[in-house]
Amino acid sequence: MHASLPRLMIFERALRKELVASATGVFITLVTIVITTTLIRILGQAAAGKAGADAVVLLIGFAVLNVLPMLLVVTLFISTLLVLTRMYADSEMVVWFSCGVSLRGFIRPVLRFAAPWIALVLAFSMFVSPWANQQAREVAARFEQRDDISKVASGQFIETAGRDRVFFVEDFDAVARLVTNVFAALRDGDTTTMIVARDGHVETREGGERYLVLGPGRRYAFETGHADGSIGEFDSYAIRLESRAVQFAPPGSDARTMTAAQLAADTTPKARGELLWRIGLPLLALNLVLLAIPLAFVNPRAGRSANLIFAVLLYVIYWQLLSLTQAMVGGGRLHFGLGVWLVHALVAGLIALMFARRSSSAKLDPFSLRTWRVRLGGGCK
């Protein structure tokens, strides 16, 4: 009994060390992918005038914080699956089996490794991600209230929020508020006015109204349905810049931005659905990391492709069922008290069945404990 304790401690320490190393690598890879794709998307929005260039870093940070709970869940599942699959493929598992470590013996070290990660999933899903969602909306609201010319990006056609103005500038100096080679199309009812100017600047007049003063240039005006129009030249032409007042949505206006306390107090279906999702993410992480233990089995002679494909399939099904349950609770078609545990209980039952099946099949498996004890001459001494 006492002689087995050092072996058990060595086993748990070695397993946790490998799990931590694998999880670190997987997490860094996933975060890098998310940051890269988010950067491309937000830079595209900034170039199209749909996001402020000065807020790109902030928006990327908020986007990463928003998806971080899911990244942590995927990291746990993949890292546990990869480590245990490698141990099977390299016949390392049979060594531990021959030393008296059962498949259920992996639960304790795996859960001790996963516990801090699951706690982070809970903290981020309940508190950090809603805050990041709210901050991202406020940044977007601040951008929307800017005047038209402040949204212009050099070399891009920008349509204003009201869709009645289109601007193009070849170069825009945001500090000096100077523009070069300007094209503007303004629609007022059935009249469309197009303006081409060599340069311009932004000035503030009495009453605080801001104008884009252009010149010299040309002005073309025509009415819809009429073939004729007017053409004129000007030395100076002023366009009043429109801006909208900032309307910040309060944190409780959208379920995704609600705090945990607000969700708990709100009994509307949408709030219940969001609360189910936030509670479900830590449970999802717990079930997936336990599911990875029996899923990792690999016959060293057969390769590891089949079990990895099956693991991905189970993950997708679990994710889709959880999303479906959230939608049903959010739509008022399923009671929260049933939906919050239904999918997780089904998966927990599947995990128990897989553990039982894997343990019973070990007696017939050519790579079972009994076979390897014979091959190793009586087991681990």
Q: Is the pTM of the predicted complex or chain greater than 0.85?
A: no
Q: What is the pLDDT of residue 314?
A: 93
The answer to whether the CB of 132 falls within 8 A of the CB of 66 is yes
pLDDT at 300: 58
Sorted by where each begins, the domain ranges of the chain are 4-144+251-375, 148-240
Question: How far are the Cα atoms of 14, 177, 247, 365 from residue 94, in angstroms, in the given order?
Answer: 15, 72, 63, 11
Q: What is the pLDDT of residue 213?
A: 86
With CA atoms as reference, report the closest residue to 278 among 255, 312, 254, 250: 255
pLDDT at position 326, please?
96
Q: Per-10-residue mean pLDDT for the chain, 381 residues long?
A: 58 87 96 95 77 81 95 96 86 72 83 96 95 88 64 69 76 75 84 88 76 85 77 85 58 78 91 95 96 81 70 93 96 93 96 84 47 46 51
| Bridge partner residues of 200 (DSSP) | 179, 214
Report d(CA 63, CA 319) in Å as an integer: 20
Distance CA 159, CA 34 (A): 29
Residue 88: the pLDDT is 80
